[in-house]
């Protein structure tokens, strides 16, 4: 049977589209990163009375500063600014857009490899959407993990988060010194696949020979690393 030219063209287009759709992204995971303002500001010497977990960023698991020519333009996210100022504030410079600019240049331009995130508006709006859906603030409060002068065990915090979401999170702390009697809860990462379904995070930052190192353990903060399972955890009240 001889195929007509229109049918051949249709098949060619279909195969081409299938190839594009099946082309893998350069990153397999998105990391929704939450910051506890009291902990951050105790290290970075800023002032904040914010009493909720804030967004630190939406980070592809591979890549950084993927397109230096794609400049941040706050006019593209004007409708998101009221939510950004509350959910994703710049804790050091509350009236500045520099933090969002930094996050876009470092992480957003890499996330934009996905069609679903290929504009500034898509990137920031999706991060906000995931932040509200995850509702880390509400979950911790629901299970009575609240800021306190008393210490928690790491297992108490980890069990609440991982049991509720059904996937492994990455919980990070500030460590005052090697033999300190406590560690300070600072950052919690919740991970998604490229289709925005929850998936396990890596518990440790690893670096193998020839492998790309994921620099998300410390991003515009200092001293954060995965919490030690045997050291009490301090979840500081708002400053």
Query: Mind telling me the catalytic residues?
Result: 56, 103, 107
- Cβ-contact 236, 39 below 8 angstroms: yes
C-alpha–C-alpha distance, residues 162 and 200, integer Å: 9
- Cβ-contact 158, 200 below 8 angstroms: no
C-alpha–C-alpha distance, residues 153 and 50, integer Å: 24
C-alpha–C-alpha distance, residues 90 and 100, integer Å: 8
DSSP 8-class letter at 30: E
C-alpha–C-alpha distance, residues 91 and 78, integer Å: 20
Q: How many CA atoms lie within 13 A of 81 on its CB side?
A: 12
C-alpha–C-alpha distance, residues 5 and 14, integer Å: 14
Q: Which residues pair with 234 in a beta bridge?
A: 184
C-alpha–C-alpha distance, residues 99 and 129, integer Å: 19
């Amino acid at each position: 049977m001889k195929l007509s030219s229109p049918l051949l063209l249709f098949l060619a287009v279909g195969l081409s589209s299938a190839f594009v759709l099946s082309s893998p992204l350069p990153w397999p995971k998105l990391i929704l990163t939450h910051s506890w303002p009291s902990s951050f500001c105790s290290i970075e010497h800023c002032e904040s009375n914010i009493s909720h977990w804030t967004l630190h960023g939406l980070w592809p698991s591979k890549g950084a500063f993927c397109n230096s020519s794609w400049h941040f333009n706050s006019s593209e996210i004007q409708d998101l600014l009221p939510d950004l100022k509350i959910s994703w504030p710049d804790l050091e410079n509350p009236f500045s857009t520099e933090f969002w600019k930094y996050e876009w240049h470092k992480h957003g331009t890499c996330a934009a490899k996905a069609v679903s995130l290929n504009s500034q508006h898509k990137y920031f709006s999706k991060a906000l959407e995931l932040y509200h859906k995850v509702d880390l603030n509400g979950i911790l409060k629901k299970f009575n993990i609240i800021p306190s002068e008393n210490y928690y065990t790491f297992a108490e915090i980890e069990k609440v988060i991982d049991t509720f979401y059904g996937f492994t999170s990455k919980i990070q702390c500030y460590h005052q010194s090697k033999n300190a009697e406590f560690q300070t809860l600072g950052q919690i990462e919740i991970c998604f696949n490229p289709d925005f379904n929850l998936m396990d995070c890596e518990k440790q930052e690893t670096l193998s020979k020839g492998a790309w190192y994921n620099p998300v353990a410390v991003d515009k903060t200092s001293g954060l690393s995965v919490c030690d399972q045997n050291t009490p955890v301090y979840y500081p009240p708002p400053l």
